[in-house]
């Protein structure tokens, strides 16, 4: 379980133990992963490579919804957490996942958690490092949607590359649904009349206990492997429904631009 905060991660692992890991379960281990730091992200991936002989499932589930801020490298923190570091983390782990995918009876998948907010940015560009670090004039929702659009474009381009190389990995992007998570409580708690808003949202939104259903379907449902041609590069709405994302999310040039610019930004950091 990758997380930047050891206390919160170990508390979550303890909850899993309390609720039960099921029969024939393994163990859940905390992996220090601070997506605001691409360097530490690379170290975390290399830690896995040094200790594991196979990797079957990777779920990238990052969400920074705050207004525009910069990392210590002067990059958009939102874009670094939501896209750039997951891009680096995934590509660093890809050789191990590729090797695993060629083992007998393997079923390797990469799931990138996106959002319906990917539709918010208008006329998005990913063709320069400057574009990748756009602030969107302090509009957190559009800024967040920009990173979530990147998740879908990255998924589709990665799937295309894997298919071209004959690697049988399935890459899926998803919208998890609308939930009032702990993080959402924190953000909404800053708003005026937050108590009333949280009460109303609690009535309207799906219970948070179901927030992982679509991720779990994409990562582990036998149906996905049985219908691999349909699910490869797909975008799923809850639960397991293949859906059409925005026109920008289906734009192959945007996907190519994003990949090239992401590689350029990673290289500029010496990674």
236, 218 in Cβ contact below 8 A? yes
Instruction: Report the relative pairing of strands 109-113 and 170-174 from DSSP bridges.
Output: parallel
Q: Please, where are the H alpha helices in 60-212? A: 77-79, 85-101, 129-132, 140-164, 182-188, 194-204
164-189 b/e with 16+ CB inside 10 Å = b?
Answer: eeebebbbbbbbbbebbeeebeeeee
DSSP letters for 104-140: TT---EEEEE--GGGG--SS---SSHHHHT--GGG-H
Q: CA–CA separation, 175 vs 68, rounded Å?
A: 22
Q: CA–CA separation, 197 vs 230, rounded Å?
A: 39
Q: CA–CA separation, 91 vs 162, rounded Å?
A: 12
Phi then psi dihedrals of residue 110, to 5 deg: -120, 125
Structure tokens at 129: 């490092």
Gyration radius from the chain CA atoms: 18
Residue positions annotated with a catalytic role: 114, 144, 148
Q: CA angle, 198 as apex, 241 and 5 as ends, to 5°?
A: 75
Closest of 32, 123, 142 to residue 76, by C-alpha: 142
Question: Which residues are CB-contacts of 180 (< 8 A; sequence separation ≥ 6)?
Answer: 188, 198, 201, 202, 205, 208
């Amino acid at each position: 379980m990758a997380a930047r905060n050891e206390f919160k991660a170990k508390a979550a692992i303890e909850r899993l133990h309390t609720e039960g890991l099921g029969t024939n379960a393994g163990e859940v281990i905390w992996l220090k992963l601070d997506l605001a730091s691409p360097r530490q992200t690379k170290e975390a991936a290399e830690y896995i490579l040094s200790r594991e002989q196979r990797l079957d499932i990777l779920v990238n589930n990052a969400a920074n919804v705050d207004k525009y801020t910069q990392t210590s490298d002067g990059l958009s923190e939102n874009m670094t957490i939501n896209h750039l570091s997951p891009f680096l983390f995934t590509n660093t782990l890809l050789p191990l996942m590729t090797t695993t995918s060629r083992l007998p009876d393997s079923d390797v998948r990469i799931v990138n958690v996106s959002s319906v907010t990917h539709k918010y940015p208008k006329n998005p560009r990913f063709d320069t490092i400057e574009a990748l670090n756009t602030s969107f004039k302090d509009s957190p929702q559009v800024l967040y949607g920009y990173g979530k659009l990147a998740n879908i474009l990255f998924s589709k381009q990665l799937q295309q590359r894997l298919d071209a190389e004959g690697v049988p990995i399935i890459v899926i992007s998803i919208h998890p649904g609308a939930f009032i998570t702990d993080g959402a409580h924190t953000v909404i708690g800053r708003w005026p009349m937050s108590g009333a808003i949280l009460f109303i949202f609690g009535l309207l939104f799906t219970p948070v206990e179901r927030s992982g259903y679509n991720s779990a379907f994409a990562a582990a449902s036998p149906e996905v492997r049985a219908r691999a041609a349909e699910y490869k590069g797909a975008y799923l709405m809850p639960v397991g429904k293949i859906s059409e994302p925005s026109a920008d999310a289906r734009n192959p040039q945007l996907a190519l631009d994003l990949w090239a610019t992401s590689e350029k930004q990673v290289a500029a950091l010496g990674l």
